[in-house]
Each structure stands twice: as C-alpha cells, then as structure tokens.
Amino acid sequence: MFQRGQNSATTFLKRCCSTGVAVPVQHSTASRKQLGAAAAAAGAAGLAAWAVSPPHRLERSSHCADGGTLISAGVAAVVGGFGGYYLGTGKTADKTQTKYETYWPRKIMMVFGAPGAGKGTQGVKIVEELGIPQLSTGDMLREAVAAGTDVGKRAKEVMASGGLVSDEIVVGIIADRIKADDCKSGFILDGFPRTLAQAKTLDDMLAKKGEVVSLVMAFDVDPRVLEERICGRWMDKTSGRSYHVKYAPPKSMKLDKDGKLLTESMKDDVTGALLYQRADDTAAALKKRLDGYNTQTVPILDHYLPNGIVQHVDGGKPLDQVWVEVQTKMGRVS
Ligand code: ADP
Ligand code: AMP
C-alpha cells in the first residue's frame, strides 16, 4: 500500500546508543561488504577509544559512552571485528535484525501540525534517516478515492470539502497498515490521529502489544502562512512528494513570458511524472480544515503531554533549518 519515501532497499538495524532504540539504516545488498569493512573499522576505533579513555570516565554509570567505555570499546572491537567479517556475508545483519525486531519496542512517531505545516515534507526526510515508513492517512484515502473502492466512495465528498472522514474508517486503515512487514521496526504517522477518539483507540491498539507512541513531533506554524503554502502546493501522486511554486519548485518548473506558471511544466524531480494540485488545497477548504484542526486535533497534544514525548519544532523557518531542528528533536526522546 501507498507510503511516502518508499524504498526497496533492505534494512539493517543498528543499536542507537543514546536512545536504546533499534534504528534501521537503509542499505542495499551491494553495500553489505562496505558495511562489513566499516564495522571492522568501528572495531578498531573501539579498541582505540578504550586505549585512550581517561580512568575517570570508567566511574560513571551510563551504559552508552562513559561508564561503559571499557566494555563498549571491547565489545565494539570484538563485534566490529567479527561483525566486519560476517556482515560481508550478511548473516549477522539478518540475525541482528531479527533479534531487535523481536525484543525491542517499535519506534512509533507522529508528525503533527496544521495542514501545510510541513509534516509531509519533513516526514520524507525522517523516512530517509530512520528507514521506517511514513503512513499518511490522507494519501491512503486519496488512493482509495482514485481507485473507487468502498472506502474511497464514502470518503470522497467529505475530503473535498475539508471535513474529517469517520474515525471508524481511518482507524480500520491504520490498524491494517501497521501490521505490514515494513512496520516491524516502527513507523511515522502523518495525519493520524486527528481526533482524541482516534488517539485513544490507537493507544489501546498499541497497548495490546505492549507498545506506546514514542514521539510526537509538532510543527508550529503561524496560520497566516498556511494559505500561501497550501495554495502553492503541487504533489506527486505516486510518492506523495510535495513541491511549492515558491519555496520548493520542481526543477522542471517554467513560467510564460508574462510570468504565469506553465502547469504542464510541473513534473516530479525523480520520475518526471506530471504533478497535480489536491482538490482540497483551496482557501475555502483550508478554512474548514483549520477549524477542524484547532477544535478536534490540537487537544491530542494535551493527551500526550504527560508522557513527555511531545517535541515542538518551529515549522515557520526555511525548509533546511526546520530539518536541522527536527533532527535535534528526534534525538531527544526515545
Ligand atoms: P503538510 O504535510 O503538513 O500538509 P507539506 O509538507 O505538504 O504540509 O507542506 C505544505 C507546502 O508548504 C508544500 O508545498 C511544501 O513544499 C511547503 N513547505 C513545507 N515546509 C515549508 C517551509 N518550512 N517553508 C516554506 N514552505 C514549506
Ligand atoms: P491530509 O492529506 O492529511 O491533509 O488529509 C486529507 C484529508 O483526508 C483530510 O482533510 C480528511 O478529510 C481526510 N483524513 C486524513 N486523515 C484523517 C484522519 N485521521 N481522520 C479523519 N479524516 C482524515
């Protein structure tokens, strides 16, 4: 099923020292040998780190860097050295992946914010960074509408007007989707939950497997900039990649001699497919979407606040600066 930033590469799990969470890293089968070499180098670096570590570092209790330096360095040396050999054949990578998928909880992230806040744009980058899929209920529903399925028929009108599709439909979609194989190490929710009822249903669903939401990344943007963002947005149907006539134009974009946009020049940078504008990306539908966001969606932040997992990002900054902040905030909560 549709997902943003989809990548056919295999995934390999590395243990993330600061969070204690298994973080998948994308790599192709062809790169296993390079990884092997890198792991062997890590082994050597581990030994070197042990050799030069000052004695006081050994007194501290953190298992990651300080108290465990000696052990970590030793383990890194051994694992790195032997791992270097086995990664060359791929055996250890597969075993390690299976182990983490079995014993560690999944990384379950939410990108949160008003329509046009930058969830889709930054979400694609998070996918590339973590190798877990971004599940956009909006994309899935649009796909259902385009395919003319039962769900699509029920959702079409309400979506075009900027209203919310029923909780029952979206919960059903997500419940199925997160069982898929590519969600084994985690996933990024985009556009879900949108109501408190959806959030509580999600929590219950996860609790049955001993899981919880691990991070809510909330993009704060001045509502006055949203209309320009939404009305200038162009999308690629297949990947969900979004562009903007002013802030993120596709390479192919051309204007006529009067400075008017040539719509036939709006093509996806990667595939060259024609871009489209969403039916609900209008000023009128945005107003309704924003009303719904403020009354029904924003209370979800208060729901997750006591868990200490909500991180705010200034989504009003230029794209690259937002990404820097996202990366910083991702490392802050496990
Ligand atoms: P959302 O998924 O939250 O609805 P998008 O990520 O699709 O929002 O962004 C909406 C529009 O705004 C897109 O056209 C995108 O290119 C543009 N955009 C996203 N982030 C920024 C930013 N920080 N500055 C300027 N434009 C942005
Ligand atoms: P989005 O792409 O996230 O802006 O979503 C587009 C539209 O799909 C929304 O305006 C809603 O009509 C519908 N939709 C997406 N996600 C949900 C959800 N979690 N609950 C209800 N409706 C949703």
Annotated domain spans of the chain: 10-102, 106-232+277-330
Ligand 2 center–CA 255 separation, angstroms: 32
DSSP state of 213: -
Architecture of domain 106-232+277-330: 3-Layer(aba) Sandwich (3.40)
Active site annotation includes 177:
no
Percent of the chain's residues with pLDDT above 70? 71
Active site annotation includes 194:
yes
Ligand nearest to the CA of 125: 1
d(C-alpha 157, C-alpha 56), whole Å = 66
pLDDT value of residue 331: 83
The whole-chain average pLDDT of the chain stands at 79
pLDDT band (50, 70, 90) for residue 98: confident
pLDDT band (50, 70, 90) for residue 96: confident
Please check whether residue 3 is in contact with residue 135, taking contact to mean a CB–CB distance below 8 angstroms.
yes
DSSP state of 219: E
Cα angle 78, 67, 334 (rounded to 5 degrees) comes to: 90
Atom of ligand 1 nearest to the CA of 117: 3
Position with higher pLDDT, 293 vs 27: 293
d(C-alpha 106, C-alpha 191), whole Å = 19
pLDDT value of residue 15: 25
Lowest mean pLDDT among 11-20, 209-218, 240-249: 11-20
215-240 residue pLDDT tens: 999 999 999 999 999 999 999 988 88
25-71 residue pLDDT tens: 333 333 333 444 444 444 444 444 433 333 332 222 333 333 343 34
